[in-house]
Amino acid sequence: MQKVIKDKGISLTIVLSVILAFAGCVGGQLGQNNSNEYRKGMVVSASEDASLVGIDILKKGGNAIDAAVAVQFALAVVYPNAGNIGGGGFLVYRSAEGEVNTLDFREKAGFRASRDMYLDPDGNPVIDKSLFGHLAVGVPGSVAGMVAAHQKYGKLKWGDLLEPAIVLAKSGFKITARQARELNGLKERFITYNPNGTALVKDREWLEGDILVQSELANTLELIRDKGMAGFYSGPVADSLLAEMKRGKGILSADDLKSYKAIWRKPIIGDYKGFKVITMPPPSSGGIALIQLLKCVEPYPLKQWGLNSDSTVQLMVEAERRVYADRATHLGDPDFYDVPQEQLLSNAYIEERMAGFNWAHATPSANIKAGTFKVAEHEETTHFSIVDKAGNAVSVTTTLNGSYGSAVIVKGAGFLLNNEMDDFSVKPGSPNMYGLVGGEANAIMPAKRMLSSMTPTIIEKNGELFMVVGTPGGSTIITSVFQTVINVIEFDKNMQAAVDAKKFHHQWLPDTIYMEKGALDSLTVVKLKSKGYPVLERGAIGRVDAILKTRWGYYQGGADRRGDDKSIGW
């Protein structure tokens, strides 16, 4: 690996051109556009460098979990806006034999967190406090998550999985044009929260192709390589994190770090027309919401209506409205709040929820105050999907929450801290950065995990692996995964086409259908508006990275062109 990365300039180009040529040829043979298909395994992630790291681990005999660990650490280096060691996430696993499991490495509130910590004396939310700077930070879970995943299922040596990320941090990597734009755009924020300097700020503008070297991060990764949990949650890295907290008046303590544990949880499993959907339970809302959405639309002939037709959109929107209303009220950290999971997923409940749906008119969203909300278009989380030679599959969504999280980079340790505290319901009924509202179930409590929308998912067909899927996108995660699954199962899209298809989104509040430019044709928009559906255009929705197993046993990649994402197979 080290060699591949060190000689990256040359080997990446050669490897990639061979891969791309081969992909084009295979796709052509099977009569499928722009899809790449491979037999032995595949990695799809937000970064070409990270996908190469993952495929290299697979080729060395690592399994999907080994590759996931290596990709997670590589993304912390080459995709710092969302890849992370200072954030958290969720992992869904399915072994080749059909064993399923999920891992919760979500951040949690510090012991000193309190319900009203982001409210001013008049009880109003102070938005920036939960979004930027030290107070926005939840206890990071990613390192604990990777250690737990590796201990349970990993095959290669832990240290070997960290090595590629260390090399990328030490020697640097070439930033993309998109990354240069983002880093330049955030320069002032980085300076505000990191007055002592950081590798992410340059004395001139960043340019595409500039090499980003992160020496402090490399040292931190070496400590994690050598000491595992103790390399991050105690010792010099923890000391730097606590010093950073002190400097910026954050509240995380040594106890918070020492007590952090990743948790294996029973997957949410649902059925859609014979496909078995294996997905993430709370504290993510994603799994329950995805199964609810699928069940809501299952009785209807979507295939006959067609992709993004007015009937399809109306039905999906009405399902989304109801499911997001449930999310706001009923979902939170199951260790703190009794989530009525069975009721939410029961067929009788879903039938009752859809019973009020009327084809003639939009159902107005319930009358909870929506607050002033603008859809954020620079949402940043990242998802990767991996399948190995044996057929084990891993679906991981991981995040700092906003792009580059809290913008705080731990001085001396070189990694970004999350702003995940904003995913709590800071005040009942007040929208968070994604416009999501919540109540008691997701109120802040010490050591509680904040509710998530992340929806890493694996789907089986006839007892065999069928799809590995997930995406970033804040509140749009659930609807993006929903549409991608429907695009394949109902509309017979191949994986890349399902990812490329334009999306729309409704989340109950605000009571609006958001659509990507061109997602719905003008006649469809007119029809929907006449029935009382406000429709607004917005930027990209989701950034799905997914794998489909074709009926011939090939893995087909879907890497989202809304970003610099890359699927690589072998």
Asked whether the beta carbons of 232 and 85 are under 8 A apart, the reply is: yes
* Nearest distance from C-beta of residue 450 to ligand DON, angstroms: 7
Q: What angle do CA 156, 159, 162 make, to 5 degrees?
A: 100
Q: How far apart are the first and last CA of the chain?
A: 16
423 binds ligand DON (CB under 6 A): yes
| Cα separations in angstroms, 425 against 260, 444, 495 | 22, 7, 35
Nearest to ligand DON of 424, 466 (CB atom): 424
Contacts of residue 546, defined as CB under 8 A and 6 or more positions apart, other chains included, come to 44, 385, 467, 468, 469, 470, 484, 495, 498, 499, 557, 558
Q: Report how far residue 49's alpha carbon sits from residue 55's, in angstroms, rounded to the nearest whole number.
A: 10
220 binds ligand DON (CB under 6 A): no
417 binds ligand DON (CB under 6 A): no
86 binds ligand DON (CB under 6 A): no
**Burial (Cβ within 10 Å: 0-12, 13-18, ≥19) of residue 348:** exposed
* Nearest distance from C-beta of residue 473 to ligand DON, angstroms: 5
* Nearest distance from C-beta of residue 453 to ligand DON, angstroms: 4
279 binds ligand DON (CB under 6 A): no
Q: How many residues bind ligand DON (CB under 6 A)?
A: 14
516 binds ligand DON (CB under 6 A): no
**Burial (Cβ within 10 Å: 0-12, 13-18, ≥19) of residue 143:** buried
344 binds ligand DON (CB under 6 A): no
Three-class DSSP category at 276: strand
379 binds ligand DON (CB under 6 A): yes
Nearest to ligand DON of 41, 474 (CB atom): 474
Nearest to ligand DON of 310, 420 (CB atom): 420
Which amino acid type is present at position 114?
S
282 binds ligand DON (CB under 6 A): no
Q: What angle do CA 249, 253, 258 make, to 5 degrees?
A: 155
Nearest to ligand DON of 180, 421 (CB atom): 421
Specify which residues 92 forms β-bridges with.
102, 395
Nearest to ligand DON of 216, 380 (CB atom): 380
Peptide bond into 340 cis (omega under 30): no
401 binds ligand DON (CB under 6 A): yes
Q: Report how far residue 87's alpha carbon sits from residue 239's, in angstroms, rounded to the nearest whole number.
A: 17
Phi first, then psi: what are they for 319, rounded to 5°?
-65, -45
DSSP letter, residue 51: H
455 binds ligand DON (CB under 6 A): no
Nearest to ligand DON of 231, 473 (CB atom): 473
Residue 464: CB atoms within 10 A of its CB come to 13
47 binds ligand DON (CB under 6 A): no
381 among known catalytic residues: yes
Binding test (CB under 6 A) with ligand DON, winner from 380, 388, 511, 565: 380
Nearest to ligand DON of 276, 566 (CB atom): 566
Binding test (CB under 6 A) with ligand DON, winner from 332, 431, 456, 473: 473
Nearest to ligand DON of 256, 420 (CB atom): 420
Binding test (CB under 6 A) with ligand DON, winner from 406, 452, 524, 556: 452
510 binds ligand DON (CB under 6 A): no
Residue of 198, 381, 455, 476 with catalytic role? 381
431 binds ligand DON (CB under 6 A): no
Binding test (CB under 6 A) with ligand DON, winner from 453, 480, 507, 556: 453
**Burial (Cβ within 10 Å: 0-12, 13-18, ≥19) of residue 120:** exposed
CA-nearest of 280, 505, 560, 510 to 396 is 280
* Nearest distance from C-beta of residue 51 to ligand DON, angstroms: 18
494 binds ligand DON (CB under 6 A): no
- Joined tokens for residue 355: 């019973």
* Nearest distance from C-beta of residue 324 to ligand DON, angstroms: 12
* Nearest distance from C-beta of residue 385 to ligand DON, angstroms: 16
Report the run of H or E that residue 461 belongs to, with start and end: strand 457-461
107 binds ligand DON (CB under 6 A): no
Residues with a known catalytic role: 381
Residues forming the site for ligand DON (CB under 6 A): 379-381, 399, 401, 420, 423, 452-454, 472-474, 477
